[in-house]
Amino acid sequence: MQTASRYKILIVDDEPDIVELLHYNLTREGYEVAQADNGKRAIEVAQAFKPDVILMDVMMPVMDGIAACRQLREMNDFKQTHIIFLTARAEEFSEVAAFDAGADDFITKPIKPRALLSRLAAIARRDAQQDEQEQTIDIAGLKIDRTSFAVYKGEQKITLPKKEFELLAFLASTPNKVFTREELLNNIWGSDVYVIARTVDVHIRKVREKVGEDHIRTIKGVGYKFNTD
């Protein structure tokens, strides 16, 4: 991942005023920016542009953001790309659907450029911190490789989307310690990001589906821990 000002950002929205606002503020900060006006076009542009971050509207013609996100997450090139949804719909079901599709974050309109730039800077800081951490964790039959964002279970290689990988690696780095949902949200998504507690549950479920049910244990009424028993 590049330094913050060199991040490549893809804006996906069918509202020209929003695209213009975001493009102006991002390029002024030194980001390299591309744009698309629907999900289908976003996939095409992303394959050529290789963005570090995708800012994507949910409700669009031709292909909506949820469908586009799902397709991008199925491609190896975009499993670690930060995907942030932009939407005027603040209902909880929209947020859950976004995270279930593989989104990393969720911003409601109207967009505040200063807050968005702060969010992007926070993403860059967390990326830099993760780059400095121990690169591999061998635990409970899993090898968690931070350099490739891959998990090895015996001979099987499992590639996880970025937030799912970060969640597993964070829990595995302190095995048998119980973390509340709030602690996991703050450490994985950051305290400056508003996401609901159910976001953690969605990601835990998806990690379990891929690496097995036994590695992460639910502590009822408290949170989750990485299990080595």
User: In this structure, what CATH number is given to the domain that contains residue 91?
Assistant: 3.40.50.2300
Please check whether residues 89 and 161 belong to one and the same domain: no
Per mean pLDDT, which range of 6-10, 18-22, 35-39, 131-135 is the poorest?
131-135
pTM beyond 0.75: the answer is no
Please check whether residues 121 and 184 belong to one and the same domain: no
86 Cβ contact list (under 8 Å, min separation 6): 13, 18, 55, 56, 57, 58, 107, 108, 109, 111
Q: What is the mean pLDDT of the chain?
A: 88
57 pLDDT band (50/70/90 cuts)? Answer: very high
What pLDDT does residue 3 have? Answer: 46
Per mean pLDDT, which range of 60-64, 88-92, 198-202 is the poorest?
88-92
Please check whether residues 142 and 124 belong to one and the same domain: no
Please check whether residues 206 and 183 belong to one and the same domain: yes
Q: Mind listing the pLDDT tens digit for each residue in 77-116?
A: 998 899 999 887 655 556 778 888 888 888 888 899 998 9
Which among 194, 196, 203, 135 has a CA at the least distance from the CA of 163?
203
What does the alpha-carbon distance between residue 19 and residue 12 come to, in Å, rounded to a whole number?
Answer: 8
What pLDDT does residue 178 have? Answer: 94
Domain-terminating residue out of 130, 157, 190: 130
The CA distances from residue 197 to 43, 105, 106, 193, 228, in Å, are 29, 13, 13, 12, 25
Supply φ then ψ for residue 192, to 5 degrees.
-90, 5
Please check whether residues 19 and 126 belong to one and the same domain: yes
Query: Could you give the number of structural domains in the chain?
Result: 2
Please check whether residues 13 and 101 belong to one and the same domain: yes
Please check whether residues 162 and 63 belong to one and the same domain: no
What pLDDT does residue 1 have? Answer: 45
Domain interval for residue 114 = 4-130
User: In this structure, what CATH number is given to the domain that contains residue 152?
Assistant: 1.10.10.10
> What are the strands of the beta sheet with 53-57, ordered from one edge?
32-36, 8-12, 53-57, 82-87, 105-108
